[in-house]
Amino acid sequence: MIDLARDVIRQALAAGATDAECTISEGEEFSAQVRLGELETLKEAGSRGAGVRVLRGKHTGASYTSDLTPDGIERMVAAAIQLAEITTEDPFAGLAEESEFGSIAGDLKIYSSDVETLATAPRIEMARRAEKAAFDFDPRITNSEGAGFDSRLGHRVFANSRGFAGEYRSSSCSMSVVPVAKVNDKMERDYWFHSSRAFDQLEEPESIGRKAAERTLRRLGSVKVETQRVPVIFEPRTARAILGGIFEAVEGRSVYRQSSFLATKLGERVASENVTVIDDGTIPGLFGTSPFDDEGIPTRRTPVIERGILKSFLLNSYSARKLGMKSTGSASRGITGNAGVGHGNFYLEAGTRSAEELIGSVKNGFYVTELIGSGVNIATGDYSQGAAGLWIRDGELAFAVSEVTVASTLQQILMSVEVGSDLEFRGSVASPTILIGEMTVGGR
Amino acid sequence: MTFSDSFFASKFGLSQGDLEAYLSLALSQGGDYADIYFEYLATSMIAIDESIVKTATQGVSLGVGVRVISGERTGYAYSDDLSPEKIRKAAKVAAFIASGPAKVDKQPLHEGIKRNLYPVLTAPNEMGFVERVDLVKRAEKAARAYDTRIFQVQATYADSLRHVLVANSDGILNFDRQPMARLSVSAMARENGGAPQNGHAGGGGRVELSFFLNEKTPEHFAGEAARMAIVQLGAVDAPAGESVVVLGPGWPGVLLHEAVGHGLEADFNRKGTSAFSGRIGQQVASPLCTVVDDGTIANRRGSLNVDDEGNPTQRNVLIENGILRGYLQDQLSSRVTGNAATGNGRRESYEHIPMPRMTNTFMMPGESDPEEIIRSVSKGLYCANFGGGQVDITSGNFVFSASESYLIENGKLTRPVKNATLIGNGPEAMKYVSMVGNDLKLDEGVGVCGKEGQSVPVGVGIPTVRIDRMTVGGTGAAA
């Protein structure tokens, strides 16, 4: 495949491109879904695609195809060249800086062969066991949207006309359960999951099923509370939404377009002393890890906020040139087009107090276990989302709450946050439990 | 057009005999039903940002998906290679969901209905690029010209042309050519060094390029986006807590999509996991509410001649005068529950298993004058525009975010308020609808609906509607 990528580059240069970059992606997916103990869905297939981005001077054009035959590739290259005719000259357009190309050496543990060799029957059996554990946990679990076992294998190749050529394989497998509980006429559902790069690191199906059941049950009997301003705790799963908002506010494009509330705050205090946010694409075995970014620049560890001070934005080569800074190895794209900005493992560093201590410190407040809707305005920092969870009374989780909203601004959230100690990576964005001094809970 | 002139027959030499052979192979392990779906998708996209046309992309993807149903089980496999060996391999993989000897008498294929809800002679992406580049340039210019406080404009034009072919073991053979185009504009305004504010607008459908020259021009969408950004400059904090809410006509119909639409998809109801499960014939909304899902409206973004399982789309009444009438079916759910197909089996691409999905979902107009609805509210919130929404179909709780809204004070719209999330409970919220306007409007054609990782284009619509009780998620005083 890396030869095909080099060949695409050669063809693009021959067709009149002054520079070119090519991405090829291959993937295989397997999924088994079980519901009420019976196999429901089995899916298995693979696909691949190639994309090319060309420059003619400072004009860019891009195209992609799933047809990797010589004819298909030729048409793809011609299509990109054609589009470079219609784009405007952009003084900042280009490839990444040649001096920065590279790839992290060593085993990043993002590919594990045990995912590839799994037989179908045991995968179905694991999903079945996870769902059964949820049902066995409590008789109020009366129904299920099913349990799934999914696995993916990926192969990514990137090459450009300035001499970078690299490739890496990745694997993942995951298990999830969605139990439904019913009491009287009210139904609730929740889910739990685990995913890992290697099959042998996947949690036991029973523990996933029990956790899913527990989460579902604690939502039963929920009430809508009165509108009030109180301390709010986000558990790790929901705290990720806040962290996702911070990522959008520090990614290069929103910075150079001045469309982020953090765009002018580099070097300033934007959060409480407790807040250190890191982006790290190099941690072995995690989902945000890769040897190089989608422009051929090695990934790295970038402190974004350090003890409350905004230290760095996350940049690809284009936004770096626009801002007069250096790329942070954060380029991200599908298989074609100008690279956007993505993150590696983007996380809030753990604090010292446990989740129990944080809950214990709140007299009257809201513990958020579910968020619904997209409610972050990066330009202004305004934050408002639908929420469900548990009410905290005198330091204890007291009763279930649903159909309410939580609102504040990211600025105020960051300034008044306390960070728990329970950091765990269940995806490429991770946060410990966080306690926000005060937010508006909208209810009755 | 007959099958032999169709895209896949003429371009890939596919014959009816080939299709029948693949279906037989798919059923060789004892499945009850099989279908095969071919897709060829060509897309293009052009974007302008900071007054520079920075992005232009085009491409093609093609593939085939084979599905086998055995009881309530589904086997699925796909290939991006249309060679007979690869299609046969996919058929064999999908077949494994069943075990036993072949048992179904496969029906001979016959071509299904012939109609064209989107008679687009030349799809936009069969045109040259010059005309399409001009659309984004015009939009960008118009948004900047709207007001000197506009400082960032991005305009994106995207189109696609999809050819599909579906054949199934019931004997259905259908093919379709599905054009789509959309222009969207986002503008940002700033004054006196304050926080920037966003405005977005966009639209399109299964239309010719002339739609953007004659009906909804780049200047129209640009003006809307710029206007919304400028309005937001004066916005005050949204109220917090329960309030009377008036929805303006058009895109706020996304309320229906979230509050009732998803909850009426047959898969959730067959499994008993929807807040609407088992409620057919019951009162689930105020008697003023009649909600329809209609996949047959000409040139609309959510319309299809046939769904992705080969069934013709139709007009389905979901709620009639507040009474729940029916669910949105796909092949699997209609087979299992013995209900007729409704033409709602859709999938994102050949890599995806079909599911029951909405098409164009809207509320029928009522009798009230929209002005009178606003006048009837002494204190409340008027929502003119929304961002997206989301629903938990099991509890029925849904949200949507208001991107342009105003306080209503003593029957008049007064100050604009900041973006806020509104939350309600599907089967409950619709009971609080107390007035329905006579001004039904469909949205301009931007909707994308996500479900279980699959995105499909949809439409929504609603007249002006008064809802007596919803929770507004702002930070300000209660409205």
| Amino acid at the residue B239 | P
Across the interface, of B62, B394, B471, the residue whose CB is closest to A404 is B471
d(CA A344, CA A301): 9
Question: Is this structure's pTM higher than 0.90?
Answer: yes
Band (pLDDT 50/70/90 cuts) for residue B321 is very high
* CB < 8 Å to A75, chain B: 60
Cα distance between residue A216 and residue A41, in whole Å? 23
The number of residues making up chain A comes to: 444
Nearest chain A Cα distance for residue B388, angstroms: 7
User: Min CA distance, A35 vs chain B (Å)?
Assistant: 9
Question: Number of CB pairs < 8 Å for A and B?
Answer: 255
CA–CA separation, B332 and A176 (whole Å): 23
Give the residues of chain A that fall short of pLDDT 70. Answer: none
Residue A191 CB partners (closer than 8 Å, separation 6+): A176, A177, A178, A179, A212, A215
Q: Is A83 in Cβ contact with B58 (below 8 Å)?
A: yes
User: Rounded to whole angstroms, how far apart are CA atoms B73 and A37?
Assistant: 12
pLDDT computed for residue B125 by the predictor: 87
C-alpha atoms less than 13 angstroms from C-alpha of A306 in its C-beta half-sphere: 8
Contact A41 B74 (CB under 8 A): yes
Angle between helices A120-137 and A205-217 (to 10 degrees): 40
Nearest Cβ partner for A86 among B53, B75, B240: B53
Per residue in B222-239, pLDDT (tens digit) is 999 999 999 999 999 999
Give the closest residue to A131 by CA, choosing from A191, A47, A56, A52. A191
Shortest distance between the Cα of A420 and any Cα of chain B, in A, equals 26
A117–chain B nearest CA distance, Å: 17
**DSSP collapsed to 3 states, chain B:** CCHHHCHHHHHHCCCHHHHHHHHHHHCCCCCCEEEEEEEEEEEEEEEEECCEEEEEEEEEEEEEEEEEEECCEEEEEEECCCCHHHHHHHHHHHHCCCCCCCCCCCCCCEECCCCCCCCCCCCHHHCCHHHHHHHHHHHHHHHHHHCCCEEEEEEEEEEEEEEEEEEECCCEEEEEEEEEEEEEEEEEECCCCCCCEEEEEEEEECCCCCHHHHHCCHHHHHHHHHHHHHHHHCCECCEEEEEEEEECCCHHHHHHHHHHHHHHEHHHHHCCCCCCCCCCCCECCCCCCCEEEECCCCCCCCCCCECCCCCECCEEEEEECCEECCCECCHHHHHHHCCCCCCCEECCCCCCCCEECCCEEEECCCCECHHHHHHCCCEEEEEEEEEEEEECCCCCEEEEEEEEEEEEECCEEEEEECCEEEEEEHHHHHHHEEEEECCCEECCCCCEEEECCEEEECEEEECCEEEEEEEEECCECCC
Q: What is the pLDDT of residues B188-217, one digit of tens each?
A: 999 998 889 999 999 999 999 999 999 999
Which of A98, A20, A96 shows the shortest CA–CA distance to A321? A96
Helix (H, G, I), strand (E, B) or coil at A241: helix
Model pLDDT for residues B140-178, shown as the tens digit of each residue: 999 999 999 999 999 999 999 999 999 999 999 999 999
φ, ψ of residue A228 in degrees (nearest 5)? -165, 165
Phi, psi torsion values for A52, nearest 5 degrees? -135, 145
Q: Contact A13/A161 with Cβ under 8 angstroms?
A: yes
Cross-chain Cβ contact A442/B473 below 8 Å: yes
- Beta-sheet strands, E only, within A57-135: 59-65
Name every chain B residue with its beta carbon within 8 A of the beta carbon of A340.
none
Query: B323-341, pLDDT tens digit by residue?
Result: 999 999 999 999 999 999 9
Distance from CA of B367 to the nearest CA of A (A): 30
Partner-chain contact A45 B79, CB within 8 Å: yes
Q: Which of A203-212, B121-130, B193-202, B422-431 has the highest mean pLDDT?
A: A203-212
**Closest B-chain CA to A387:** B423
Taking contacts as CB-CB distances below 8 angstroms, the residues of chain B near A261 are 195
Residue B478: what pLDDT? 73
Angstrom distance (rounded) from CA B83 to CA B112: 26
Q: CB neighbours of A427 closer than 8 A, spacing ≥ 6?
A: A195, A240, A287, A288
Give pLDDT, residue A368.
98
Residues of B in contact with A225 (CB under 8 A): none
B127 versus B69: the higher-pLDDT residue is: B69
Interface test with B, best of A322, A382, A404, A436 (most B CBs within 10 A): A382
Residue of A nearest to B272 (CA): A143
Contacts of B91 in chain A (CB under 8 A): none
Q: How far is the C-alpha of B309 from the C-alpha of B297, rounded, in Å?
A: 19
Mean pLDDT of chain B: 95
Q: d(Cα A412, Cα A420) in Å, to the nearest integer?
A: 18
Torsional class of B86: left (φ above 0), alpha (ψ -120 to 50), beta (otherwise): alpha
The pLDDT of residue B106 is above 80: no
Whether residues A444 and B151 touch (CB distance < 8 A) is answered with no
Percentage of chain B lying above the pLDDT 90 cut: 90
Question: Using the beta-carbon criterion (under 8 Å), do A45 and B475 form an inter-chain contact?
Answer: no
Task: Return the bridge partners of B66, or none.
Answer: B36, B77
Q: Tell me what pLDDT residue B395 has.
A: 93
Interface touch A38/B72, C-beta < 8 Å: yes
Please tell me the distance from the alpha carbon of residue A17 to that of residue A9, in angstroms, as a whole number: 9
In chain A, the percentage of residues whose pLDDT exceeds 90 is 98
CATH 3.30.2290.10 positions along chain B are 3-233
Q: Which amino acid is at B305?
A: N
Instruction: Specify the pLDDT at position B28.
Output: 95
- Say whether A77 sits in a helix, a strand or coil: helix
Residue B432 has pLDDT above 70, yes or no: yes
Interchain CB distance below 8 Å, B133 and A42: no
Please state whether beta strands A396-409 and A434-442 pair in parallel, antiparallel, or not at all (unpaired). antiparallel
pLDDT at position B146: 98
For residue B265, give every residue at least 6 positions away whose Cβ sits within 8 Å of its Cβ, in sequence order, or none: B274, B327, B328, B344, B355, B356, B357, B358, B393, B451
Beta carbons of A39 and B133 less than 8 Å apart: no
Using an 8 Å CB-CB cutoff, list chain B residues near A47.
63, 78-80, 351
- Is the confidence metric ipTM above 0.90 for this complex? yes
Q: Which chain B residue shows the shortest CA-CA distance from A72? A: B60
Cβ within 8 Å, pair B62-A66? yes
Pairing of strands B240-247, B379-391: parallel
The predicted-structure confidence for B372-393, as pLDDT tens digits, reads as follows 999 999 999 999 999 889 999 9
- Region label for A255, one of left (φ > 0), alpha (ψ between -120 and 50) or beta (otherwise): alpha
- pLDDT tier at B479 (50, 70, 90 boundaries)? low
Q: Flag if A384 and B58 touch (Cβ within 8 Å).
A: no
Residue B424 β-bridge partners: B398
Whether pLDDT at B453 is above 90: yes
Give the residue on B whose Cα is nearest the Cα of A404.
B423
Which residue of B lies nearest to A84 if distances are taken between CA atoms? B56
Dihedral sign, Cα of residue B11, residue B13, residue B17, residue B20: negative
For helices B129-146 and B218-233, what crossing angle results, to 10°? 30
The pLDDT score that the predictor gives to residue B5 is 87
CA-closest candidate to residue B403, choices A259, A262, A255, A380: A380
- Cβ distance of B188 and A259 shorter than 8 Å: yes
The answer to whether A139 and A107 have CB atoms below 8 angstroms apart is no
Element (H, E) at A78: helix A70-84
C-alpha A247/C-alpha A257 separation (Å) is 15
Please determine, looking at this structure, whether the domain spanning B3-233 carries the CATH number 3.30.2290.10: yes
pLDDT value of position A374: 85
Residue B164: the pLDDT is 97
Residues of B in Cβ contact (< 8 Å) with A407:
238, 240, 420-421, 473-475
